[in-house]
């Protein structure tokens, strides 16, 4: 009996290789056995690790499309090649999928037969005790002043007490075995990994997510049309989204002001959105808050506060003073001090459509090099810095960003010196546009909340599987698989019994000699025999 015999692990030695000719079935068998061997699993694991790395080095389109585009623009030769090879979408790349699918085929092919073996092994009797226990990795002997039958009886009791499964194949030996849960844990771990993958897949197929910007004072009713971006899984029926509504009353933001250290001053400290939520339009409404780390759960979705920024209230009037545009207009922060970019589009303007674009600066300053910027994220000295365009705001009706102007069919207004007309507005100020084009007023500052609303029906399966995997792993790593054998024979004069105890373990097991000593001591105790 060797260590190997205690393992139910399929052998890696492949005897089919030596066959001179292989028919199609033989080949299939050969490939299958290769695929489900430990060595292949190991190689696939290492391959998976290596294949993940480009995903952390190169920008990934699904995480940051802007940075990916920049990278492609800067690397004109390798960029397109890498792009063809899916290097900007590594975790959705066919070669990445190939590795993990192979790994999971291998996993199933390995674990299912093993489960079967294990099922049988769990119900099988412990094997017959070897003739010479002193050949086992751990061995000890003792003498007990009692007849062999009572020693056998005591040994059975002692080993059962240590939670061994016990069987006597003959009158002079006891075989016992413990730690089947180690293999159970190992199988549970591997099977649960499949559960994790299925949970992730369910989330991809039936889950959806959408992002929306809601200025203070405005409402949001959940429907696809309201989202700035909406990403449904392939089998999502987007007419059946949870019909909840939200109203944002106020968004509080605080930033570090006391610590002046590098990398600290001005960093965010708290964001809180005060909202009223109703599960369906007209349904009972309740006041609540959404914070980072404290999302709001509504039936069928979860609402996360992932972004925020400023939505200065801007009013545009025509020459007669009639209001053409009056809205809290979100500007997107472009740095940590909320230097924000945005646009105001006034299609109702006469004679030509008007567009304003530029910056909102919560704490405005004019940097000699960088121009207008903000030096602190809080609205301490807010200002708008805008330029003006007129013409066709939406040539060809192409879809376009709300935050920038498509200047293809627009012309910029110039001042007397033929320089682009620059407007600088602080709250309450109005600027009269030249040539009777009307005026623009900066009424005041409000904030907006960037909400991300998501539904993932697979997350509980993933979580439960992950926890099972962890439990299985702990069992598999910490439980010891051992066999203990006891052999008895009468001493020469027949007054005492010679007891030989041997132990075997799967893998190295430093505790084995100690276990045998325990067994011997317990035997003496059980018989009431002092050594």
The CB-of-301 to other proteins minimum distance in angstroms stands at 11
Taking CB within 5 to 8 Å according to partner kind, which of ligand HEM, other proteins, none is near residue 238? none
442 forms bridges with which residues in the sheet?
A: 314
- Point out which span in 144-152, 316-324, 339-347, 469-477 binds other proteins (CB under 8 A): 469-477
Among ligand HEM, other proteins, none, partner that 110 touches (CB below 5 to 8 angstroms by kind): ligand HEM
Q: What is the three-state SS of 387-440?
A: EEEEECCCHHHCCCCCCCCCHHHEEECECCCCCECEEEECCCCEEECHHHCCEE
CB of 190 to ligand HEM, least distance (A): 6
Burial class (CB in 10 A: 0-12, 13-18, 19+), 82: middle
Burial class for 110, CB neighbours closer than 10 Å (0-12, 13-18, 19+)? buried
How many other C-beta atoms lie within 10 A of the C-beta of residue 229? 9
Contact partner, 333, from other proteins, ligand HEM, none, Cβ < 5-8 Å per class: none
Least CB distance to ligand HEM at residue 7 (A): 6
The answer to the question of residue 208 lying near other proteins (CB under 8 A) is no
Q: How far is the CB of 379 from other proteins (least distance, A)?
A: 18
34 in contact with ligand HEM (CB under 6 A)? no
Please, how many CA atoms are within 13 Å of residue 322, restricted to the half-sphere of its CB?
6
Tallying the residues shown for the chain, one arrives at 531
Q: DSSP for 110-133? A: HHHHHHHHHHHHHHSPPPPPPS-G
Question: Which listed range, 142-150, 152-160, 278-286, 467-475, lies at the site for other proteins (CB under 8 A)?
Answer: 467-475
Residue of 17, 319, 323, 467 that binds other proteins (CB under 8 A): 467
190 Ramachandran zone, left/alpha/beta (phi>0; psi -120 to 50): alpha
**181 versus 248: smaller Cβ distance to ligand HEM:** 181
Neighbouring residues of 152: CB distance < 8 A, sequence distance ≥ 6: 168, 171, 172, 173, 174, 486, 488
445 is an interface residue for other proteins by CB under 8 A = no
Of 5, 28, 38, 380, the one binding other proteins by CB under 8 A: 38
CB of 115 to other proteins, least distance (A): 17
Instruction: Pick one of 5, 22, 38, 63: the residue that binds ligand HEM (CB under 6 A).
Output: 38
Name the residue with tokens 């290596």. 50
Cβ atoms of residues 349 and 437 within 8 Å? yes
Q: In what order do the strands lie in the sheet with 430-432?
A: 323-328, 313-317, 439-444, 430-432
Q: How far apart are CA 309 and CA 327, in angstroms?
A: 15
Interface region with ligand HEM, contact rule CB under 6 A, candidates 106-114, 162-170, 205-213, 523-531: 106-114
238: enclosing H helix or E strand: none
Place of tokens 């591997």: 190
In the bound state with ligand HEM, the residue whose beta carbon lies nearer, of 190 and 524, is: 190
Decide which of ligand HEM, other proteins, none touches 106; Cβ closer than 5 to 8 Å per partner kind. Answer: ligand HEM
Q: Which of residues 113-142 bind ligand HEM (CB under 6 A)?
A: none
**Interface size with other proteins, residues (CB under 8 A):** 64
Whole-Å CA distances, 68 to 91, 127, 319, 336, 467: 15, 62, 45, 21, 35
Which residues would be at the binding site for ligand HEM (CB under 6 A)?
A: 7, 9, 36-38, 41, 45, 103, 106-107, 110, 186, 190, 193, 476-477
Which residues would be at the binding site for other proteins (CB under 8 A)?
A: 9, 11-13, 38-39, 41-42, 45-46, 48-49, 52-53, 55-57, 59-60, 62-64, 67, 90-91, 200, 209, 256, 258-259, 261-264, 267-271, 291-295, 302, 304, 306, 452, 454, 456, 459, 462-463, 466-467, 469-470, 473-474, 477-478, 507-508, 510
């Amino acid at each position: 009996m060797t260590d190997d015999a205690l393992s139910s692990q399929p052998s890696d030695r492949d005897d089919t290789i030596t066959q001179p000719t292989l028919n199609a079935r033989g080949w299939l068998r050969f490939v299958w056995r290769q695929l489900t061997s430990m060595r292949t699993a190991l190689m696939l694991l290492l391959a998976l690790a290596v294949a993940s790395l480009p995903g952390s080095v190169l920008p990934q389109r699904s995480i940051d499309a802007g940075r990916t585009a920049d990278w492609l623009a800067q690397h004109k030769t390798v960029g397109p090649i890498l792009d063809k090879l899916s290097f900007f979408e590594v975790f959705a790349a066919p070669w990445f999928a190939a590795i993990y699918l192979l790994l999971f085929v291998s996993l199933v092919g390995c674990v299912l037969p093993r489960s079967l073996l294990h099922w049988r092994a769990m119900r099988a009797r412990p094997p017959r005790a070897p003739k010479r226990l002193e050949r086992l990795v751990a061995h000890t002997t003792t003498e007990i002043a009692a007849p062999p039958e009572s020693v056998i009886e005591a040994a059975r009791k002692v080993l059962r007490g240590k939670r061994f499964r016990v069987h006597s194949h003959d009158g002079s030996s006891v075989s016992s075995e413990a730690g089947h849960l180690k293999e159970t844990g190992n199988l549970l771990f591997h099977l649960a990994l499949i559960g994790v993958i299925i949970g992730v897949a369910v989330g991809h197929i039936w889950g959806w997510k959408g992002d929306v910007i809601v200025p203070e004072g405005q409402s949001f009713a959940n429907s696809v049309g309201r989202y700035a971006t909406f990403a449904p899984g392939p089998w999502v029926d987007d007419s059946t989204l949870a019909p909840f509504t939200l109203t944002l009353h106020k968004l509080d933001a605080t930033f570090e002001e006391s610590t002046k250290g590098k990398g600290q001053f001005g960093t965010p400290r708290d964001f809180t959105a005060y909202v009223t939520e109703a599960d369906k339009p007209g349904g009972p409404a309740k006041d609540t808050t959404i914070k980072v780390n404290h999302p709001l759960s509504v039936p069928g979705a979860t609402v996360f506060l992932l972004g925020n920024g400023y939505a200065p209230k801007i009013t545009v009037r025509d020459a007669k003073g009639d209001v053409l545009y009056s809205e809290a207009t979100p500007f997107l922060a472009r740095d940590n001090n909320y230097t924000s970019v945005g646009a105001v589009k006034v299609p109702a303007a006469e004679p030509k459509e008007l567009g304003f674009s530029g910056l909102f600066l919560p704490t405005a300053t004019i940097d000699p090099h960088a121009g207008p910027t903000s030096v602190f994220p809080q609205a301490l000295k807010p200002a708008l810095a805008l330029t003006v365009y007129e013409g066709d705001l939406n040539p060809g009706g192409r879809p376009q960003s709300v935050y920038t102007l498509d200047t293809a069919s627009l012309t910029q207004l110039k001042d007397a010196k033929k320089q682009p007309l620059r407007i600088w507005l602080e709250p309450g100020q109005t600027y009269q546009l030249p040539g009777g084009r009307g005026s623009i007023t900066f009424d005041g500052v409000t904030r907006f909340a960037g909400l991300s609303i998501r539904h993932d029906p697979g997350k509980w399966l993933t979580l439960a599987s992950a926890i099972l995997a962890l439990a299985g792993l702990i069992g598999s790593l910490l439980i010891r698989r051992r066999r203990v054998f006891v052999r008895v024979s009468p001493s020469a004069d027949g007054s005492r019994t010679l007891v030989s105890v041997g132990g075997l373990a799967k893998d190295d097991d430093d505790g084995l000699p100690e276990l045998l000593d325990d067994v011997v001591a317990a035997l003496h105790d059980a018989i009431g025999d002092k050594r």
